[in-house]
C-alpha cells in the first residue's frame, strides 16, 4: 500500500463513523436500538438489506462459482430471488401489520401457550447466538483470507480483530438507524469500487477489453443457464431443478429466509408503513439480484483468463489477485475500502440483529423482565461484544471452509422453511410443529452424513420431505389457543383459503386487503421475469452476445409495465 491508499482507507473509516453518528439519535429505548422506532424510509431500509448481504466473501464466492461452473454457477444463489419476491408481495405486508419488534416475537402472536414460550426462547438462542456466530465467523474468515493476499506484511488475525471491534463500536453506539444510514453509504461506495475494478481489469493488456475476453473465454463458460450437454459446467440439471423448485421455500439461509425472516424482517418492521415495507423489500431484490452481480462476474471472467490454473480451493481468491495485479495507486485503496465497506456493514447488522433476539426474545421475557430500558440497552452492548468475541474465536480456531459452512446451513435448514411459510397460511400449524422444523433437519443432516443414507445432491430433497412430514404430524397432535389465533387473524389478516374457511367456521369476518392473494402471486411472477430477464439482458449487452436479446428486452419491459399496473395503482 502507498500513502494515498492508506489515506483513502482512513477517510472511508472516518466517513463511516460520521455517517453513523450523524444519522442517529441518542439511544433511549430498545425499539429505537433494534427497530429505529419504525421510521426508516423504504430506500434506506432496502439498501441496508442489500449492504448486509454484500459481505466481504460475496465477490469471492461469485468468482469461485464462475471459475468452477461458468456464469451459470450463479444459479446457486440466483434461485433465492423466487423466495425474496414472495417476501416482497406476500410476507412484507404481513410482517408490518404484525407490529412485532423482532420476527421471533411473532411466535407469541401466532401460537400462544407454553409451546410459543419455549419456541421463542429456542429460536432466540439458536438463531441469535449459534447460527449468528457461525455466520459472523465465516465473514471474518473471508476478510482474513483477503487481508492475507492484499496485506501480506500485516498480521491478518489482528487486522480482522481491529476491524470487527470498529464495527462493534458504532453498532453499540448508534443502533439500527445509524447502522442503516451507514450501510447505505457503504453499499454505494463498495459497488462503485467493484465497477471501477471491472473497468480497470478489462483494460489490462492481457485481457484486451470485453470483446476480446468474450472471444478468449470458452462459450460454455458464458452460458447463462446450465447446459446438460456442456463439458464445462458441473451444475447439474438435477441440482438446478432442486434449487428452483424446493430450496427457495424449504431452506433457511441468511438474507433469503422463507417467509422473509431474519434481518430482512427486521428492516421491514423498521419501515414507516405497509407500502414502505413492500417498496424496501422490492428495492432489495432488484439491487441484490439484478444490479450487483455483473461487475463481480466480469472480474471473475478476467481472473479465469489471467489465472487459469487455480485450484478449486483457491479459485475465489482470483478476485483478490485481479485487484492486486491490476489496480494502480489510489484505485487499490478504493477497492480495499470497498471490501471493508462490505465487511463492516455485514458485521454491524449481524451484531445488532443477533443481539435483538437474545435481549428481546430471551433475556427480557425470561431472565430479567422488570428492569429499566437503560439496563437492557447496557446488556445489549455487552451481548454485542460477546457475539463479536465468539465469532473471532470460531473463525481463528474452528472454522476451516466458507463453502462447507454454506452447505451446512442449507442442508441443516432444509425443511424449516416449510414451517416458516406454512404458519402464515395454515391455521393448524403449532409452535411444537415449528420447533420440530428447526430440530429435525439438523438431526437428519448428521444421521445422513454418518450413515451415508443418500447422495449429497439428494440431501435437500430427503431432508425437506421428512421434516415436512414430522412438522405436519406434530401439528396434528398438538393444539393452538383459539384466542391467540383470533387475535393473529384480526391483526395480521393472513391470506389464503384455509384462513378464510377457519374464519367462516368461527363466525369471524373474512379478511380483505389492498392486494389480493391472486394479485400478489401475479406480481411475484412479474418480478421474477423482471429480475431474470434483466440479468440476462445486461449480460448480453456487456458480453456483446445478441442471441435472445430482443426477447429478453421485451419480457423486461412487459414485466415493468405489469408491475406498475398491478401494484403502483393500489
pLDDT given for residue 445 in this prediction:
83
Q: Which DSSP symbol is given to 316?
A: G
Residue 226 lies in a domain: yes
Q: 415 and 471 in contact (C-beta within 8 Å)?
A: yes
Find all residues with CB under 8 Å of 197, minimum gap 6, and list them: 295, 299, 322, 323, 326, 327, 331, 335, 338
In a domain, 449, yes or no: no
**Per-residue model confidence as pLDDT tens for the chain (570 residues):** 799 999 999 999 999 988 887 776 655 688 888 988 888 999 999 999 999 998 888 899 899 899 888 999 899 899 999 999 999 999 999 999 999 999 999 999 999 999 999 999 999 999 999 999 999 998 999 899 899 888 999 999 999 999 999 999 988 888 898 999 999 999 999 999 999 999 999 999 999 999 999 999 888 888 888 876 655 556 677 788 888 999 999 988 888 899 998 999 999 999 999 999 999 999 999 999 999 999 999 999 999 999 999 888 788 889 999 999 999 999 999 999 999 999 999 999 999 999 999 999 999 999 998 899 899 999 999 999 999 999 999 999 987 666 666 667 777 788 899 999 999 999 999 999 999 999 999 898 888 888 888 877 678 888 899 999 999 999 999 999 999 999 999 999 998 899 999 999 998 888 766 567 888 889 999 999 999 999 999 998 988 877 788 899 999 999 999 888 877 655
Query: What is the maximum span of the chain, computed from C-alpha positions, in angstroms?
Result: 74
- Predicted local distance difference test score (pLDDT) of residue 25: 61
| Within-domain flag for 121 | yes
> Would you say residue 500 lies in a domain?
no
Q: Are 441 and 483 in contact, with CB atoms under 8 Å apart?
A: no
Q: Hey, what's the cell of 300?
A: 471473475
DSSP secondary structure code for residue 496 in this structure: S
Which three-class secondary structure string do you get for 544-570? CCCCCHHHHHHHHHHHHHHHHHHHHCC
The residues facing 40 across adjacent strands are 271
Cβ atoms 233, 69 nearer than 8 A: yes
Do the beta carbons of residue 107 and residue 98 sit within 8 Å? no
Q: Identify the H or E element spanning 170.
A: helix 156-202
Global pTM value: 0.93
Distance CA 490, CA 503 (A): 10
**pLDDT confidence of residue 402:** 64
User: Residue 271: helix, strand or coil by DSSP?
Assistant: strand
CA distances in angstroms from 536 to 168, 223, 555, listed in the order given: 39, 10, 11
Buried b (16+ CB within 10 A) or exposed e, 550-569: eebbebbeebeebbeebbee
The structural domain count of the chain equals 1
Inside any domain, residue 240: yes
Q: What angle do CA 398, 403, 404 make, to 5 degrees?
A: 50
pLDDT of residue 488: 95
Rounded Cα–Cα distance for residues 74 and 69 (Å)? 8
Looking at residue 229, what is its pLDDT?
62
Q: Report the alpha-carbon distance of residue 222 to residue 233 in Å, rounded.
A: 10
Counting every residue written for the chain, the total comes to: 570
Confidence (pLDDT) at 48? 95
In a domain, 149, yes or no: yes
Whether 196 maps to a domain, the answer reads yes
How far, in Å, CA of 110 to CA of 486, rounded?
9
**pLDDT (0 to 100) of residue 503:** 92
Residues of the domain holding 242:
3-17+29-401
90 contact partners, CB below 8 Å, separation of at least 6: 424, 495, 517, 520, 521, 524
pLDDT at 27: 56
Q: Could you say which DSSP state residue 495 is in?
A: -
CATH number at 362 reads 1.20.1730.10
Asked whether residue 368 is assigned to any structural domain, the reply reads yes
At 228, list the grid cell. 446438460
Say how many C-beta atoms besides its own lie within 10 A of residue 504's C-beta: 11
For 260-272, give one letter per residue: b (16+ CB within 10 A) or e: bbbbbbbbbbbbb
Q: How many CA atoms lie within 13 A of 78 on its CB side?
A: 26
Classify residue 73 by its DSSP letter.
Answer: G
At 160, list the grid cell. Answer: 480482522
What pLDDT score was predicted for residue 401?
Answer: 63
| CA distance to 27, 253, 413, 416, 445, per residue, from 409 (Å) | 34, 6, 6, 11, 10
CA angle 400, 402, 407 (to 5 degrees): 110
DSSP state letter for 461: H
Q: How many CB atoms lie within 10 A of CB 332?
A: 21
Give the model's pLDDT for residue 411: 72
> In 3-state terms, what secondary structure has residue 251?
strand
Sign of CA pseudo-dihedral 386, 174, 141, 415: positive
Amino acid at each position: 500500500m502507498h500513502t494515498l491508499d492508506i489515506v483513502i482507507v482512513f477517510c472511508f473509516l472516518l466517513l463511516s463513523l460520521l455517517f453513523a453518528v450523524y444519522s442517529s439519535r441518542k439511544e433511549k429505548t430498545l425499539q429505537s436500538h433494534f427497530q429505529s422506532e419504525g421510521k426508516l424510509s423504504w430506500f434506506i431500509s432496502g439498501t441496508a438489506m442489500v449492504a448486509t448481504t454484500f459481505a466481504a466473501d460475496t465477490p469471492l464466492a461469485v468468482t469461485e462459482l464462475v471459475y468452477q461452473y461458468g456464469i451459470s454457477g450463479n444459479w446457486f444463489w440466483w434461485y433465492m430471488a423466487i423466495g425474496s419476491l414472495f417476501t416482497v408481495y406476500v410476507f412484507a405486508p404481513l410482517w408490518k401489520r404484525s407490529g412485532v419488534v423482532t420476527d421471533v416475537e411473532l411466535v407469541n402472536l401466532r401460537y400462544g401457550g407454553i409451546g410459543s414460550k419455549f419456541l421463542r426462547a429456542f429460536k432466540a438462542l439458536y438463531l441469535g447466538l449459534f447460527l449468528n456466530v457461525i455466520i459472523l465467523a465465516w465473514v471474518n474468515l473471508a476478510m482474513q483470507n483477503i487481508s492475507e493476499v492484499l496485506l501480506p506484511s500485516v498480521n491478518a488475525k489482528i487486522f480482522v480483530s481491529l476491524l470487527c471491534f470498529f464495527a462493534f463500536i458504532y453498532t453499540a453506539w448508534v443502533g439500527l438507524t445509524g447502522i442503516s444510514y451507514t450501510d447505505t453509504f457503504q453499499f454505494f461506495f463498495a459497488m462503485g469500487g467493484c465497477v471501477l475494478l471491472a473497468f480497470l481489469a478489462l483494460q489490462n493488456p492481457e485481457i484486451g477489453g470485453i470483446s476480446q475476453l468474450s472471444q478468449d473465454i470458452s462459450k460454455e463458460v458464458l452460458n447463462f443457464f446450465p447446459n446438460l450437454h456442456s463439458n464445462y459446467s458441473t451444475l447439474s440439471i438435477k441440482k438446478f431443478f432442486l434449487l428452483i423448485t424446493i430450496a427457495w421455500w424449504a431452506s433457511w439461509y441468511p438474507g433469503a429466509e422463507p417467509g422473509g425472516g431474519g434481518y430482512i424482517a427486521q428492516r421491514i418492521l423498521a419501515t414507516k408503513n405497509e407500502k414502505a415495507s413492500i417498496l424496501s423489500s422490492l428495492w432489495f431484490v432488484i439491487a441484490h439480484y439484478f444490479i450487483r452481480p455483473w461487475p463481480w462476474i466480469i472480474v471473475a471472467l478476467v481472473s479465469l483468463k489471467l489465472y487459469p490454473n487455480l485450484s478449486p480451493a483457491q479459485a475465489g481468491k482470483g478476485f483478490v489477485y485481479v485487484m492486486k495485479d491490476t489496480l494502480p495507486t489510489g484505485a487499490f485503496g478504493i477497492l480495499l475500502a470497498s471490501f471493508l465497506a462490505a465487511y463492516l456493514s455485514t458485521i454491524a447488522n449481524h451484531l445488532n440483529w443477533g443481539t435483538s433476539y437474545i435481549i428481546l426474545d430471551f433475556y427480557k421475557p425470561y431472565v430479567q423482565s422488570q428492569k429499566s430500558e437503560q439496563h437492557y440497552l447496557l446488556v445489549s452492548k455487552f451481548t454485542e461484544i460477546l457475539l463479536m468475541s465468539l465469532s473471532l474465536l470460531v473463525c481463528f480456531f474452528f472454522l476451516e471452509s466458507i463453502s462447507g459452512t454454506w452447505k451446512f446451513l442449507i442442508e441443516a435448514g432444509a425443511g424449516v422453511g416449510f414451517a416458516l411459510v406454512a404458519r402464515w397460511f395454515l391455521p393448524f400449524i403449532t409452535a411444537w410443529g415449528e420447533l420440530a422444523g428447526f430440530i429435525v433437519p439438523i438431526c437428519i443432516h448428521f444421521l445422513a452424513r454418518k450413515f451415508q443414507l443418500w447422495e449429497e445432491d439428494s440431501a435437500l430433497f430427503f431432508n425437506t420431505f421428512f421434516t415436512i412430514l414430522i412438522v405436519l404430524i406434530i401439528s396434528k397432535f398438538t393444539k393452538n389457543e383459539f384466542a391467540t389465533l383470533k387475535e393473529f387473524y384480526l391483526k395480521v389478516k393472513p391470506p389464503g383459503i384455509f384462513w378464510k374457511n377457519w374464519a367462516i367456521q368461527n363466525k369471524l369476518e373474512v379478511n380483505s386487503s389492498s392486494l389480493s392473494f391472486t394479485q400478489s402471486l401475479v406480481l411475484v411472477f412479474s418480478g421474477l421475469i423482471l429480475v431474470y430477464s434483466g440479468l440476462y439482458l445486461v449480460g448480453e449487452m456487456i458480453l456483446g452476445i445478441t442471441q435472445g436479446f430482443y426477447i429478453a428486452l421485451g419480457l423486461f419491459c412487459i414485466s415493468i409495465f405489469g408491475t406498475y399496473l398491478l401494484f403502483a395503482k393500489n
